[in-house]
Amino acid sequence: MTRSCGDTNSLPRQLVSVRTSKKDKMIELKKTTIKDLASLFKFQTNKEGIWMAAFTAENPNDKAAYMAKWSKIVENTTICMQTIRVQNQVVGSVIHFDLGEETNVSYWIDQQHWGKGYATAGLKSFLEYSAKRPLFARVAFDNYGSQRVLEKCGFKSIGKEKGFANARKKEIVEYIYTLE
């Protein structure tokens, strides 16, 4: 049975245990709400995060543009976006969306939570209930952490292409990954 990410009744609340340092923490995935967007906007204005993501909005500090774009995304039932929480605190998000003939995944974790396993656990949990395949992901050539997250989640590198990265103000290589 294919579950639709847009149908909130078909999405179980996902709880995943993540071992960080010497403590176990539970991450939780929940459908992203308009209220979550304020935290997610703040994360996506982090200079190092912008650099690593590379393919960002032209002006990632434009909150009005961010809220207009992402409010439509959150309300679109064909797009599956989940907020990643730890101890009821928003730490990031994961999403899949159609781009042309491909369904792509993307995720963002607040920099203060990098390296704690939340991106990997969040993406793995997200993939458990997302029946769409194949899925694609794109990552900047030098974003080794994100490349590792994709590989831990079963994605395989299938190629590369060049594209203009707003964060870098130039064309750079991005690697293309897929999960069958």
Each residue's pLDDT tens digit, 54-85: 999 999 999 999 999 999 999 998 888 999 99
The single residue listed with the structure tokens 């207009």 is 68
pTM: 0.86
Residues of the chain with pLDDT under 70: 1-24
Q: What pLDDT does residue 25 have?
A: 73
Q: What pLDDT does residue 2 have?
A: 38
Contact call for residues 60 and 119 (beta carbons, < 8 A): no
Q: What pLDDT does residue 10 have?
A: 44
Domains of the chain: 12-132 (3.40.630.30)
DSSP element (H, E) containing 127: helix 118-129
**Non-local CB neighbours of 26 within 8 Å, separated by 6+ positions:** 15, 16, 17, 18, 86, 87
Q: What pLDDT does residue 6 have?
A: 44
Q: What pLDDT does residue 66 have?
A: 96
**Non-local CB neighbours of 130 within 8 Å, separated by 6+ positions:** 3, 5, 80, 96
By the 10 Å C-beta count (0-12 exposed, 13-18 middle, 19+ buried), 177 is classed as buried
What is the distance between the alpha carbons of residues 152 and 45, in angstroms, rounded to a whole number? 26
